[in-house]
Structure 1
Amino acid sequence: MPSSQAKNLSLIAAIDLGSNSFHMVVAKAQNGEIRILERLGEKVQLAAGIDEERRLSEESIQRGLDCLKRFAQLINGMPLGAVRIVGTNALREARNRGEFIRRAEEILGHPVEVISGREEARLIYLGVSHTLADTPGKRLVADIGGGSTEFIIGQRFEPLLRESLQMGCVSYTQRYFRDGKITPARYAQAYTAARLEIMSIEHALHRLTWDEAIGSSGTIRAIGLALKAGGHGSGEVNAEGLAWLKRKVFKLGEADKIDFEGIKPDRRAIFPAGLAILEAIFDALELQRMDHCEGALREGVLYDLLGRHHHEDVRERTLGSLMERYHVDQEQAARVERKALHAFDQVADDWDLNDGVWRELLGWAAKVHEVGLDIAHYHYHKHGAYLIEHSDLAGFSREDQQMLALLVRGHRRNIPKDKFAEFGDDGIKLIRLCVLLRFAILFHHIRGTQEMPQVTLHADGAQLDVLFPENWLEENQLTQADFAQEAEWLTRVGIVLNIH
């Protein structure tokens, strides 16, 4: 479940559950700026523990949990909403990620979000753009992770293109350099595989063009340090240096022998794969130079978190764009949202919905419940749910989107009880949100700005009582019929609706 917002933030923290390493930053938020107080990072290589059935091994899960036990000490006592934890490619791919997430949340006391590749790219760019000097030109940013590589072209603080490819230094090490042997043939296989991946986005990247290239990962930093140690630059990566470094690595022949100054021993095994991927990027995009930036995903998460608490929530902009794209009747959406939130405020205590995240989720669902109408009226709630679940929605985790899609799916006709049950304990709360959304939609079934009556809601367990003004329902028989039908629908999910 996504976290609710903390008020008056001072300390904030971000944890990046990467495919290669886990990282945490703790910072102090002051006047819209972030001052880093603490950085921690440990190599976990979660991606190396994914088997052929795409399941994390117990050993790799335990490595991750042991790391998180150490991280937990620094965030103990921090309020929900002051800490954001994001999982990337390894958790996107692992079929048993739910088991890891459950145990991780028990240790950390905060929710873990698994984000999409494009959302990861957005956050990486946010971190880079806030770390580097603000310049008017366009930037190409590449981040080689353990299981995926993200590409972003952006200008100032705005990403213009976001892509994520299935190639990373850990996954390629497992595939091409598992035993640590480095040969030209193996390297060529890794390089070719990376070139084939990049082909799918080459045209789009070249079409936008860029003024400078930035690398934001540990892989690019390590390669820059190796080049510097060999007298090829001062920490940046250049095409000539890559060619020299490749020859040097071939001569060494084994990953264990890689001992360039500044390269940590635990990075040696994944160094050849990272080098092959970076050379493929340079060749495909015709780069001559790439500079390194320390800011990346975790810094982006911090700035995104800070924005949410300063009324600059990218999620609101995302939903606004979605509504415009699918020609949502915004006046009707606003009416439904107001009524849904008013209903929520009346029953939140009785229905155990006090965490502000539930109110936020209900408001989002009210905004976008009609996006599917632009596809077709028949089964439009199903069309809308599909669009929401499968679109790239900036700012939303996968679970956010799944919950939002489920509310849209359930806002009319039959409520898919089995789908709600997949969310465990949160499933009951989601059904209750769905009931409130359906109430607001029925209340405004007759579109228009005519004055509607004040109603009172009371909730008690599985029972919801709605009190209309005396004689109003008798005088508005369509609404009366709507709620009579609704009472029948709700009995199927164990809710008793009483209309007075």
Structure 2
Amino acid sequence: METPPPPTPRTEPTDADVEAFKQQLGRPPRGLRAIAHRCPCGQPDVVETAPRLPDGTPFPTTYYLTCPRAASAIGTLEADGVMKEMTERLGSDPELAAAYRAAHEDYIRRRDEIEVLEGFPSAGGMPDRVKCLHVLVAHSLAAGPGVNPLGDEAIAMLPEWWRKGPCVQPLQAPDPADEHPGEQGAVFDPAEVRSGFFAHRPLVAEGFTRVAAVDCGTNSIRLLVADVNPATGELLELDRRMTIVRLGQGVDRTGRLAPEALERTFAACREYADVIRELGGASVRFVATSASRDAENRDEFVRGVVDILGVEPEVISGGQEAEFSFTGATKELKGREDMARPYLVVDIGGGSTEFVVGDGHVSAARSVDVGCVRMTERHLVHDGKVSDPPTEEQIAAMRADIEAALDLAEETVPLREARTLVGLAGSVTTVSAIAQDLPEYDSERIHHSRISRERVREITERLLRSTHAERAAIPSMHPGRVDVIGAGALVLLAIMERTGAEEVVVSEHDILDGIAWSVA
């Protein structure tokens, strides 16, 4: 950043400030005391909050960053490992450690001047580690440069987030005489939309609705913003993206979502919130699957998502997950003579795999607990590290686990009756990219590609014999799939062998598209 935002005086919040806060975070302020810093665009970007919320709940984060653009950019820094690097430097640089401890003392002093909160350290990990860059940046903006050294460093790494103008708009009542209420720039009470979060109506073609769908699984979180027309069955994709967050890290062993996995997920949510806001997604649905379904501390996950996106994640059942996947994968296949029905749709996720059979509509579905992350952690990890490559005994144990899961699925779903096998999610699409020797991941070439069973077998054996470095060198391989792709490919191969499918049709349209259709 060439020019960091200048310090601004602490001010009492106006009605416009309160409304801006509601638009930025998608909820009314809680314990709001003052505007601690203003973005160069004029809107609040840091607020000062009371040490206790109105209901008495302790809230030690005195300075709370509200600007979604700044939050998204900070989330990118966190995902890039900046917090880990800063924490390591605290252990090796006494001068930095002393300055960071002084920042902690400054934070506590400012909070104590409002109300002493016994037993609660300052937020952000101070004074010994870096737990949340958002807190450190908020402190630096509120206190001014020279107080929090790591907050100052983080600000220097950020882009000038205010250059696009205000992230929120003043609210206006819509003109009743306006014959085109969907035109860009028209605004309305954000409480009227599902997320309570986005302040303008985009330009959308007649008959279409702009929606945002978020699918948070065990290994990745994905976003789709699209215009959908329920009458014609059209879906016009505006933005589709995926982030590897490993939310299910260790869940199979501990039963809990790890703090670092939650923070990775929240960082991605901040990025997605910015995308949705920029595109004007009027309705948002956030679906959470296997990892959050299994975790004891799923309430912590729910609270974090609500704070960032303003919409509560729906922790759906495996059956619901299968329904969404089937709709997303098959809606555009209707009328295709080269794809005989009934379809068997398999969605190989990180923690579970969904099986659903149908001919236009779902006739049977089942979710079983085998996925690329769960199988890797259960069978291929030794002394905390993924085997490189796995042993024959490990592969055999994993294969036995997958076969047992297929036995369970077959109790409910007639796997062998389907005439077209449709494969979804990252393990399948990555196998397709490898099968085509793509120089990079290319969703257009992957979507509706077909892979023979023999080719899937060749790729699976190659991946299970490869080292981490060899898998990472595959041009189309996402870094987050390097350690789990062998298990995912083995799940796909076992399914094809069990069903007798000679080929799998790969679909890039999946549960995300099904969620989008459910919103419309």
TM range (shorter): 0.5 to 0.7
The one-letter code of the counterpart of 1:150 is E
Mapped partners of 1:268, 1:83: distance in 2: 31
Q: Go from structure 1 to structure 2 and tell me whether the alpha carbon gap of 1:289 and 1:25 turns closer, same or farther (over 3 Å shift).
A: same
Cα distance, 1:81–1:117 mapped onto 2, change above 3 Å: farther
Instruction: Please name the residue that 1:154 is paired with.
Output: 358
Provide the secondary structure at the position in 1 that maps to 2:350.
Answer: coil
Aligned to 1:176: 379
2:347 is aligned with 1:143: yes
Map 1:421-460 onto structure 2 (within 5 A). Answer: none
Separation in 2, partners of 1:65, 1:301: 20
- Partners of 1:103 and 1:128 lie apart in 2 by 30
| Structure 1 residue 123, shift from structure 2 partner | 0.4
Which secondary structure does the structure 2 equivalent of 1:291 belong to? Answer: strand
1:58 alignment partner in structure 2: 259
Query: Residue 212 of structure 1 corresponds to which residue in structure 2?
Result: 420
Residues 93-492 of structure 1: pairs in structure 2 closer than 5 A: 93-135=294-336, 137-156=341-360, 158-178=361-381, 179-180=385-386, 181=388, 182-206=390-414, 209-229=417-437, 235-252=449-466, 254-258=467-471, 259-306=473-520
8 Å contact kept, 2:344–2:415: no
- Flag structure 2 segments of 5+ consecutive residues without an equivalent: 1-190, 195-200, 202-206, 439-445
Partner of 1:52, secondary structure, is helix
Q: Percent identity?
A: 26
Distance in 2 (CA, whole Å) between partners of 1:20 and 1:116 is: 17
Q: CA deviation at 1:275?
A: 1.6
Residue identity in the other structure for 1:172:
M
Quote the offset at 1:264 in angstroms.
2.2
- 1:13 and 2:209 matched: no
* CA distance in structure 2 between the partners assigned to 1:31 and 1:286 by the alignment: 35
Corresponding letter in the other structure for 1:64: T
Question: Over residues 355-385 of structure 1, what are the superposed CA-to-partner deviations in whole Å (9 max), with x where a residue is unaligned?
Answer: xxxxxxxxxxxxxxxxxxxxxxxxxxxxxxx
Aligned to 2:241: 40
| Alignment length (residue pairs) | 300
Deviations 1:150-206 (A, max 9, x none): 0010112x1111110001101111112232322222111111100011112225434
Q: Which amino acid aligns with 1:175?
A: R
Name the residue aligned to 1:379.
Answer: none
Q: Is the 8 A contact 1:51 1:57 kept in 2?
A: no
Name the SS of the counterpart of 2:456 in structure 1.
helix
When residues 78 and 146 of structure 1 are mapped into structure 2, their CA distance, relative to the original with a 3 A threshold, is same
TM-score by length of 2: 0.54
CA contact 2:368–2:409 (8 Å) conserved in 1: no
- The alpha carbon displacement at 1:220 in A equals 0.7
Measured at CA, do residues 298 and 237 of structure 1 come closer, stay the same or move farther in structure 2, by a change above 3 Å? Answer: same
Q: CA deviation at 1:51?
A: 6.1
Letter in 2 for 1:244: E
Give the C-alpha shift of residue 62 in structure 1: 0.5
Q: Which moved more, 1:106-115 or 1:8-17?
A: 8-17
User: Is the CA contact 2:357–2:414 (under 8 Å) kept in the aligned structure 1?
Assistant: no
Distance 1:280 1:30, change over 3 A: closer
Contact 1:84–1:305 (8 Å) recurs in 2: yes
Counterparts of 2:281 and 2:299, CA distance in 1: 20
Name the CA distance, whole Å, in 1 between partners of 2:409 and 2:218.
22
Asked if 1 retains the 8 angstrom alpha-carbon contact of 2:210 and 2:281, the reply is no
Q: Is the 8 A contact 2:219 2:246 kept in 1?
A: yes
TM norm structure 1: 0.56
Q: What amino acid is the match of 2:304?
A: R
**Amino acid corresponding to residue 455 of structure 2 in structure 1:** G
Separation in 2 of the partners of 1:273 and 1:203?
A: 23
- Answer whether contact 2:213 2:286 (CA < 8 A) is retained: yes
Deviation (angstroms), 1:81:
7.3
